[in-house]
Amino acid sequence: MIKLKNISKSFEDIKALDNVTLDIEEASVFGLIGTNGAGKSTLLRIMSGILKPESGCAEIDGKNVFENPEIKSEFFFIPDEAYFFKNSTPKTIADYYASVYKNFDMKKFEEMLSVFSLGMKRKISTFSKGMKKQLSVILAICSNTKYIYCDETFDGLDPVMRQAVKSLFASEMDLRGLTPIIASHNLRELEDICENIGYLHKGGVLLSRNLTDLKLNICKIQIVPSEGRDVSAAFSSFRAYKHETRGLLHTLTLQASIEEVEAAAKASSPIFYEILPLSLEEIFISEAETAGYSISKLVS
C-alpha cells in the first residue's frame, strides 16, 4: 500500500502541495485528477523520491521512499515528457532498464515492441510523441514493478492506442496484481478504468473516494410529471444537486440511490421517467459542491 502523509511542498512563493494525505490500495487503478497546476506532477515526483517534501512523507509498504533505492525498485514512473538517452534505441534503453530492474522481462519487451510496431534498433529521437509514450508504457510493463506511476500518459495517444494501453494495465492487474496510479486533468479519460479517485485542487485533496461508492449515492433522472404534479415536491426528501427544466421535461441529479429515486418517481405517477447514467465529471462536480466547492468551470 502507498501512504501519503501530510505532504506539503512549495516552489518559492507557490504552494504546490498543502498537507496532502492519501491512501492508495493495491491491485486497483487509482486516478489522480486535477486541473493543470493542481499539484499532480509534483505529488508523483514526491511519490517517486525525485523531490523531497518540506513536511510529511510518502511511504510504500511502511517504508519511506525518499533516498531509499530498495523501495524505488517497486515502482516505475512514466513522466509527462519521457527522457531517453541521446542516440538511444529501444534495445539500448531496454538494456539500461534491465540493469536497474532485476525482474525486467526482455523477451516480453521484444514481443510487445513487435505488436506495437516499434523498431528495436530505430533511434528513439525519430519517434513521434505518441510512439515515445507507447515505448514508455512497454518499458514500465516489462519492468514488472508493483506500481506504475503515469503522468498524463494518455496525452499524445490516439483513441485506439489509449484503449490498448488500458487493456494492458487491466491484463497486468489480473496477471500479477499491478497497481497503476494515473494522473490526468481529464476526467472523461479515466472513468472507464479507475476504481478509486483522488481529486487535487489548489494543492490539496478535495475528494478521495471509491468510484462505485460515489455512483451508488448519486442518481440522475429525467421525468415528465402528470398534470398538476410538482416535481420538486415528489423528490423533496432528497438533496437536489441540480434541477433543469426543458419544456415539460425535468432533469434532476439527486443524492440518493437508484432504488430510492425510482420509488419516489413511481409514487408521483409520471407520464414518463428514466434513470440516466452519471459521468465521472457529474459525480465529482456534485460531490465537490457538497464539500463547499463550486468547480463546475474547472473540471474538463
Q: Kindly indicate the confidence band of residue 110, based on its pLDDT and cuts at 50, 70 and 90.
A: very high
Are 127 and 254 contained in the same domain? no
Distance CA 112, CA 94 (A): 12
Looking at residue 128, its pLDDT comes to 92
One domain, residues 136 and 247: no
The answer to the question of residue 84 being in a domain is: yes
Position 142 pLDDT exceeds 80: yes
Backbone angles phi, psi at 158, to 5 degrees: -75, 165
pLDDT band at 295 (very low <50, low <70, confident <90, very high): low
Q: Which of 183, 211, 173 shows the shortest CA–CA distance to 195?
A: 211
- Reported confidence tier of residue 300, pLDDT bands at 50, 70, 90: very low
End of a domain among 209, 227, 260?
209
Are 52 and 103 in the same domain? yes
Q: What is the mean pLDDT of residues 36-57?
A: 93
137 and 176 together in one domain: yes
Position 295 in a domain? no
pLDDT attached to residue 156? 77
The yes-or-no verdict on residue 225 having pLDDT over 90 is: yes
* 158 and 11 together in one domain: yes
List Cβ neighbours of 45 (8 Å cut-off, separation of 6 or more): 51, 77
Report if residue 214 sits inside a domain: no
The 10s digit of each residue's pLDDT in 172-192 is 999 999 999 999 887 778 888
> Is the same domain home to 253 and 124?
no
- Looking at the structure, do residues 204 and 224 belong to the same domain, yes or no? no
224 and 204 in a single domain? The answer is no
pLDDT at 244: 93
**pLDDT, mean of residues 231-246:** 93
Average pLDDT over residues 207-215: 82
| pLDDT at 182 (0 to 100) | 95
Average pLDDT over residues 155-167: 89
Rounded to an integer, what distance in angstroms lies between the CA atom of residue 162 and that of residue 74? 24
- Of 209, 234, 269, the last residue of a domain is 209
pLDDT at residue number 30? 95
Model confidence at 284, in pLDDT bands (50, 70, 90)? confident
User: Stretch 42-61: mean pLDDT, rounded?
Assistant: 95
What CATH number does residue 234 fall under? 3.30.70
| Residue 237 domain-assigned (yes or no) | yes
**Domain containing 58: what range?**
2-209
Residue from 206, 171, 183 nearest 291 by CA: 206
pLDDT above 50: residue 73: yes
Residues 158 and 25 in one domain: yes
Q: Structural domain tally of the chain?
A: 2
298 within some domain? no
Band of the pLDDT at 292, cuts 50, 70, 90?
low
Mean model confidence pLDDT for the chain: 90
Q: Is residue 300 part of a domain?
A: no
- pTM, two decimals, is 0.83
Coil vs helix vs strand at 242:
strand
Average confidence (pLDDT) over 52-73: 93
Beta bridge partners of 182: 31, 150
230, 198: one domain:
no
20 and 133, same domain (yes or no): yes
Establish if 289 belongs to a structural domain.
no
223 and 204: one domain?
no
CATH of the domain at 176: 3.40.50.300
For the ranges 2-6, 272-276, 279-283, which has the lowest average pLDDT? 279-283
Is 42 inside a domain boundary?
A: yes
pLDDT of 283 reads: 78
The residue type of 140 is: A
CA neighbor of 36 nearest in space, from 154, 207, 201, 244: 201
The more confidently predicted of residues 295 and 148 is: 148
**Contact by Cβ (8 Å): 214, 283:** yes
